[in-house]
Structure 1
């Protein structure tokens, strides 16, 4: 049997493998879905592998693969509605009547400690037209030059600049980046997450209430029901905490935010992602999906405690 030439495959894998994490995060920001992002990266690698022999290095491998990934994601969102959080599709509730919607309705959580993965930002991204979303991410998150983005998107440079301007204006309207956000590696974030976990595990409703801001929100996916205000959130927590020991939580970092990976009476439950500010917990987003427990547990980027961000480079 003749030997099989695996050179091109090996060369492609060597060039593409270091980019997988970046491609996955980019696809997630575009799609709002962890599992769809993984599918998109798989499709990107398949297309890249098939086209590797014809790759003439007129651009870098990074640019080439991001172009493929962006097109795969844009094709995926073309025929479906946008994903959202409950607070993005309706008013807050005053009772806990469940109104469960299909999984494809919702943004999914994603393991990682980067600030550009925060749930509020991902939700805001989903309000943009897909092409604007892609331009914004390629320019502002991945820092590709406008000329490269124009080529990747089959647009003129002027159209790229116009799309970027409109996307920035839209994100400013939805106020996706509050200035008082606390990084998960900070002592304040660790203290608030510890207090949240301890209070839930010991069924201490007053302990939970004490760490909430007055304007705190509570979102309970896959239900579209959500609550606003310490009083309404506390009532839901009081009904949920059960008895001491019913809940067990492992600390993690999800969407660049402190999070708790949750088990109820020993069974996987899901994950709670906290929006931590300087003066308390401003929001809790609960993803009731048992499959997330193991997926997040084995994701290295979700490990707790998170690494502190590197110090800023010295100015010349």
Structure 2
């Protein structure tokens, strides 16, 4: 619902505190414990969203840029403009392979960004009904409204998403040999700064964005032109880590002492066994530990 890690952490803590303080008032005859706790959590999220800026992606802020140098980036926007990445370890709890796929679909970066276009109550209803599988009656109890109001909100949410659906991307599947090979090939091409190899891996209509900048690129050849000129990327290293149910990497840049250190989180969206979108979250090096990534890597490894 929130698209922001710090707000999510605050909401989780506040939910636990309120549930603990109100536990004596819980009536199992009126609702299950899960429904009762989700009511607390949902109301906290709705409170946090009241008056908050709608978070989005760089690709939703305007047309692709034609400038192909770092001088064309413009000024960075404040962090509250963008949907933030989250590690799979924080949001994937299932052990059954089919359930893992469902959970990864529900936290995809494109899907979370699409949710932000919905009014907060519509967002809540869609998640309760279609992601968390609560009934209309349970959802009405959680939000504090009627079943007809829940059904109406769900219908409006579906219609809004149908007008501008999230892009179809593949979920992260480490058992998929084709996907694994694609990602291995991408790492090899990126670390070698091999534009010929990267051309084979990128979709013709691939996109590349770098929050917190609104600047983004569209088209394989434009992206390759920028990457070819970006000498700063030459020598960077990548360590795989799932992000938002999709493949991702920790990107490391070599310092003056020759040691590759945390630089940025990189989300890689995949379509039809090609790379369709590269999202480089600049300024995210402080979150590497949260993703289980080291702050530096052995330059000789």
Q: Taking structure 1 as the reference length, what is the TM-score of the superposition?
A: 0.81
C-alpha distance in structure 1 between counterparts of 2:226 and 2:45, whole Å:
37
Cα offsets for 1:123-167 (capped at 9, x unmatched): 100000010000000000000010111111111101100110111
Aligned pair partner of 1:248 in 224, 237, 247: 237
Per the alignment, in what secondary structure is the counterpart of residue 264 of structure 1? strand
1:137-176 to 2 correspondences below 5 Å: 137-176=127-166
- 1:142-221 alignment, distance < 5 Å: 142-178=132-168, 181=170, 183-185=172-174, 186-221=176-211
- The answer (yes or no) to whether the contact 1:67–1:153 under 8 Å persists in 2 is yes
Answer yes or no: is the 8 Å Cα contact 1:227–1:233 preserved in 2: yes
2:20 to 49, 58, 72: 49
Report what 1:278 is aligned to: 272
SS in 2 for 1:282: strand
Give, in angstroms, the shift of residue 292 of structure 1.
Answer: 2.4
Q: Aligned ranges for residues 7-156 of structure 1 at < 5 Å?
A: 30-57=1-28, 58-95=30-67, 96=69, 97-99=72-74, 100-112=76-88, 114-156=104-146
Q: CA deviation at 1:252?
A: 1.2
Mark the runs of 5 or more structure 1 residues left unpaired by the alignment: 1-29, 300-316
Equivalent in the alignment of 1:25: none
* C-alpha displacement of 1:175: 2.0
Query: Could you tell me how far apart the structure 2 residues matched to 1:258 and 1:267 are?
Result: 20
Q: Per-residue deviation at 1:206? A: 2.0
Check the 8 A contact 2:251/2:265 in 1, yes or no.
Answer: yes
- Decide which moves more: 79-88 or 233-242: 233-242
CA distance in 1, matches of 2:73, 2:129: 40
What is the Cα deviation at residue 241 of structure 1? 5.2
CA distances 1:3-23 after superposition (whole Å, capped 9, x unpaired) = xxxxxxxxxxxxxxxxxxxxx
Query: 1:281-306: CA deviations, max 9, x gaps?
Result: 1111111111122211169xxxxxxx
Q: Which runs of 5+ in 2 are unaligned?
A: 93-103, 255-259, 295-301
